[in-house]
Amino acid sequence: MISASARLLRLVSLLAARPSWTCDELADRMAVTDRTVRRDIAKLRELGYAVESDPGPWGGYRLRAGSRVPPLILDDEEALAVAIGLREAALSGALGGDQAALSALLKLRQVLPRRIADRLGEMDAAFVHTPRNGGPQITAGMLLELAAACRRGERARLSYRDWEGTATVRDVDPYRLVHTGRLWYFVARDVTRDQWRTFRADRVDRIRPTGQRVELTDPPDPASLVSRSVATGPYPLYATIRLAMSMNEALRLIPSTVGTHRPEGPDATIVDIGGPDADGLAGYLLGLATPLRVLSPESVRQALLRRTRELFEENDGVRPHEDGAGPR
């Protein structure tokens, strides 16, 4: 049995994780009785946590927005500095694929006093982030809304624009946010199609909770789903190539977000790559600077041969200068 102090910390963490919990849910998560939950809630209130409750069998407990954040003692400037730091870490991807900064920011924002939350909102509206690698921007507010939807455990209504700009509204069961180093992707189950989908976070116009609780069964690996979705995106042309190297070596050469890989024995890998046209794909393959065989289509094979011939002809007959340097 865990100590009373450890149990209280666990209870605070659960209350901060989502907007509302029933007494039975908390008791089940903490492996204690309903009576213990009610006693611990009373103890938290004595310690200064603003825990609100709704009466009735379907009522729940929640941390009131704007309450202070014991046992941390932060003044207004410190709380604002922490919130800004966490937001920048989440937007920049400084922690890689880890969503710890985003999760911590959600918890902090839930209990920030209104005066600090308003100041943070003003900064969100004033700050502009330079897109990395020419990629689109996503606001901190939208990123937090999507993260909150994933934590809430409720069905949501998603207003979304696809890659052609077509606007749709669909019901989804949110699951995870995935950062690829350049873009954020929202992973959710499309209720109507009964399929797990990935949505570009910067193309989300709005997300609203429906209040309908959902229990996700057999969710996918979100990172793998995003990698497959990005690699097999809406390209007009695909090429299949064979690399004389192992699967691990091929993945280091061509990331999983660029192509889909499958082994052909221990020393060869087949990779499918999408691109804008045959010439563009040939340029990418030539830039890999490694032996490869184009299996299909013929248009990409011919484009690669043409580029190779042009490169050879440009350098054929060139003689180095006497000092050993190349042509100037």
Residue 69 has pLDDT above 60, yes or no: no
How much is the pTM? 0.51
Which has more confidence, 241 or 184?
241
Q: What percent of the chain has pLDDT over 70?
A: 76
Once rounded to an integer, what is the mean pLDDT over residues 228-248? 84
**Has residue 174 got a pLDDT over 60?**
yes
- Asked if residue 128 has pLDDT above 60, the reply is no
Distances (CA, A) of 150 to 39, 132, 169, 173: 30, 25, 18, 8
Per the CB < 8 A criterion, the answer to whether 126 and 140 are in contact is no
**Residue 266: CA atoms inside 13 Å, Cβ hemisphere, count?**
0
In the sheet with 195-200, reading across from the earlier edge strand, the strands are 195-200, 184-190, 167-179, 154-161, 204-213
The DSSP H or E segment spanning 104 is: helix 100-111
Q: What is the mean pLDDT of residues 70-86?
A: 65
Burial class of residue 42 (count of CB atoms within 10 Å of its CB; 0-12, 13-18, 19+):
exposed
Q: If you search the block for the tokens 């003044």, which residue do you land on?
A: 75
Spatial distance between the Cα atoms of 326 and 328, rounded to a whole number of angstroms: 6
Residue 73 phi/psi, 5-degree rounding, is -110, 100
Distance CA 91, CA 111 (A): 21
Cβ-in-10-Å burial (0-12, 13-18, 19+) of 283 comes to middle
Q: Is residue 260 within 8 Å of residue 231, measured between CB atoms?
A: yes
Q: Is the dihedral of CA 208, 81, 201, 160 positive or negative?
A: positive
- Is residue 232 within 8 A of residue 274, CB to CB? The reply is yes
On whether the CB atoms of residues 212 and 164 are closer than 8 A, the answer is no
Rounded mean pLDDT of the chain? 80
Q: First and final CA of the chain: distance in angstroms?
A: 78
Q: Residue 202 corresponds to which tokens in the numbers above?
A: 């910067």
* H-helix or E-strand spanning residue 174: strand 167-179
pLDDT of res. 62: 85
For the record, the structure tokens of 31 come out as 């492996």
Region 153-176: mean pLDDT is 91
Tokens found for residue 197: 């989908």
Q: Tokens at residue 87, please?
A: 């937001």
157 close to 148: Cβ distance less than 8 angstroms: no
Amino acid 10: pLDDT: 82
Band (pLDDT 50/70/90 cuts) for residue 97 is very low
Q: Is 185 helix (H, G, I), strand (E, B) or coil?
A: strand
Q: What is the share, in percent, of the chain residues with pLDDT greater than 90?
A: 30
